[in-house]
Amino acid sequence: MSRRIRRGLVLRGAIAAVAAGAVLTGGFNALPDASDGGDAAPEQAAVGTGSPVQTEAEALAVAKKSNKKIEILGMRTARREIYAEPDGTFTAREYTDPIRTFQGGSWVDIDRTLVRGADGSVAPKAAAVGLSFSDGTAGKPFVTMNQAGRELSLTWPHGKLPAPVLDGDTATYKDALPGVDLAVRAEADGFGHLLVVKTPQAAADPRLARLDLGLRTDGLKVKEDATGALKAEDAAVGGTVFEAGRPVMWDSAAVKEAAARKQGPKAVSKAVAAASADAAPAPSVAPEAALAGPGGGGRTSPSASRSARASCPWCPTRSCSRARTPSSRS
């Protein structure tokens, strides 16, 4: 897993040709802190878990007396739990994605359910980053995300969006273009967005040949690296704050034949004092819709992308962007 000293964000972008049209996905997610990483040691024999306490000394004493592992609240993070074991050692339980966030002076579980605020904006109940979606007001970004005083937002380039329809963690802007829905999904530490092209006629719209989402940043400078990925660096102190990975494309096989798999949260445990160990196998995860990317049946290819100060573009290659009519597949 990638490690950075500074927190970062990742954009996963893709364009897919499906039986009735095309799909474009993308999203930003916060990467783990450098301190959150490490190899995982084999887990110890299972013991019960007692009520958490605040300090290491308390945890060690209670663990020894109760013969249960005790979490140290003072060392809890969004992705990590530290436990004192009955034998006097410590173990860390680490998650690939945040499972909690600090809100209102205490830790709360991540809740991606979208709700409308007093100002009409849409936001998840509890996420690890500041995140809001548009209520359809003209001239405002359709998504804004902020962290550590740095902000990034995306705007829709083709006029006013309709008010979104909310369903769990997803806001759908129906007919953002004729026959094209824009769906934006909250994640634990970011968001994903998806363009659903519902008809072959909509897929023929020349505005889909290259989609330039408006990109606004505060306190950042954006550049492109040799792989085609975009990097947004802190304008004051340097270091990558946001990243936009190069888009890829997949065909309708990804939607019809195999669902994409989501990325967590998954947990592993390790001995805190261990210098290194073999990584524990990742647990299996349930399938998810194609917003996260192509499934096992999809054919993929890279998509051209150019950096720009005020836009975040995706350009489909001709072979993948052409939509097929429903009769073109058996």
User: Dihedrals φ, ψ of 278, to 5°?
Assistant: -65, 140
In a domain, 295, yes or no: yes
Residues 6+ apart with CB under 8 A from 118: none
Indicate whether 261 pLDDT > 60: no
Q: What is the rounded average pLDDT for all residues in the chain?
A: 71
pLDDT at 276: 35
Where does the pLDDT of residue 169 fall: very low under 50, low under 70, confident under 90, or very high at 90 and above? very high
Find the domain containing 235 and state its range: 9-324
In a domain, 167, yes or no: yes
In a domain, 13, yes or no: yes
Q: What is the pTM of this model?
A: 0.68
pLDDT at 71: 96
pLDDT at 21: 37
In a domain, 121, yes or no: yes
C-alpha to C-alpha distance for 15 and 25, rounded to whole angstroms: 6
In a domain, 282, yes or no: yes
In a domain, 276, yes or no: yes
Total of domains in the chain: 1
Q: Which comes out higher in pLDDT, residue 232 or 292?
A: 232
pLDDT at 244: 63
Indicate whether 56 pLDDT > 90: yes
pLDDT at 23: 47
pLDDT at 34: 44
In a domain, 330, yes or no: no
pLDDT at 60: 96
Indicate whether 108 pLDDT > 90: yes
In a domain, 2, yes or no: no
Q: Which comes out higher in pLDDT, residue 21 or 155?
A: 155
Where does the pLDDT of residue 247 fall: very low under 50, low under 70, confident under 90, or very high at 90 and above? low
